Structure 1
Amino acid sequence: MKRALTLLVAPLVLSGCFGGSAVKESYFNLSAAPGNAPSPATSSGPAIHVGVATVPEAVDRNAMVIRTGPNRVEIDDANRWVEPLKAAIPRVLAEDLRAELGTSRVTSGRFGPYAPDFAVTVDVQRFDSSLDAGATLEAMWTVTPTGANASAGARKSGRTAVTEPLPSRDAAGIAAAHSRALARMAAEIAATIRR
């Protein structure tokens, strides 16, 4: 009788261990600010290229990293970024810069069909996500005149440090708050390019 019961229970235990409770993954992306959707193409503005961003190793992963205390984080495997942050951040900055500067000639990643007038590099030093404190972005960035513009002025550097509250205490709120933080950084970069 014991043996029959053991044979009956074993498959149930194994099914629970090997797939009965798989974690459903949700994917999120960074996006341009709602008011910064790309406008119709205008080719009269400056050509800008936003290079690949450097990001802290602690957050350089697909799973969201959630800060739960001063010295503690949790890796949230159920909520993931749909693309690497070092590619997503330049893409979103390029979209925000298009709207800020009124030009369609802004690229990220690989260079576009034209030589840029300005090259933008970004070194993200802090990319914190907290359900309580919000989304914190600290980054150093540089705007370098290039090509025919190279003699127009020296390279300019700046630092952006912002914390955005979450619109909702979940992964979607984290993605939205970081997107707003990137829009604020794009506005600072655009002001430097205008000068």
Structure 2
Amino acid sequence: MMKRLTMLLTLAAAATTLMNGCASPEARYYTLAASRSDAAPAVTGRASRSGDPLWIEVTPVRVPERLNRIQLVVRDGNGGGLRLSDTSRWTSPLPNELRDALSQQLQASLDAVDVYQRGLSATQPAFRVTTDVVALDADVGKRAAATIAWTVRRLPDGKVLSGRTEAEVAAPGQVEGVVKAYREILAATAADIAVGVQSLNR
């Protein structure tokens, strides 16, 4: 009886080890939001001439359908194909990650308040920011690049300023390097948009 019990316990331990060995690697989650130390520095002087808060509305970012998912999409290194990484994921769908990161950067650099989904002030000028990701890709361990078209519309008069940010940044290391490179690209995009807002606010 004891010998049989020992055999059963040994088989159970072996099965557990086998199951653990076959388990899928645990997914890691990433965000494009900058850490406090990486946040954009405020511009010299307030962007609002009246001293009141500067109202901005950062709308959802449009991305190509192939990128509209929770997994990171990177080049697979074989003939320019793309690969979805099931073990490297965004904390929210990519359009949300991009919008939140841009909003964070613009609020910091412009000393502004993002009123997206909260309603615009009826008495103060506001600036609606729309962005379209034309291209966004990365070679893990090499580089990340993006082309982002953006528009700033002053409300209520509707005056518009449009621009396009193109950037390529080194992305050494593994996926963490790609995420860091994307953050740098978004910071550059936010800096260009901030200049547009300031131009319309004169």
Query: How far is the alpha carbon of 1:163 from its aligned partner?
Result: 1.1
* Structure number with bigger Rg: 2
CA displacement 1:118-153 (0-9 Å, x = unmatched): 101011011112114322111111111113xx16xx
Match in the other structure for 1:4: none
Alpha-carbon offset, residue 76 of structure 1: 0.8
CA contact (8 A) 1:124 1:139 kept: yes
CA contact (8 A) 2:42 2:110 kept: no
- Report sequence identity in percent: 27
- Please list the CA deviations of residues 46-102 of structure 1 after superposition, one character each: whole Å capped at 9, or x if unmatched: 210010011111111111111134521111101111111111111111111112212
Q: Secondary structure at the match of 1:47?
A: strand
TM-score by length of 2: 0.76
**Consecutive unaligned residues in structure 2, runs of 5 or more:** 1-10
* Distance in 2 separating the partners of 1:165 and 1:75: 20
Which structure 1 residue ranges, 5 or more long, are not aligned? 1-8
Q: Are 1:111 and 2:118 an aligned pair?
A: yes
Distance in 2 (alpha carbons) for counterparts of 1:51 and 1:96: 14
Matches within 5 A, 1:45-194: 45-69=53-77, 70-103=79-112, 105-108=113-116, 110-112=117-119, 114=121, 117-147=126-156, 150=157, 154-166=159-171, 168-194=172-198
Judge which range, 168-177 or 155-164, deviates more: 168-177
TM-score when scaled to structure 1?
0.78
Matches of 1:101 and 1:179, distance apart in 2:
18
Instruction: Report if aligned partners of 2:90, 2:97 keep a CA contact under 8 Å in 1.
Output: no
Count matched residues. 179
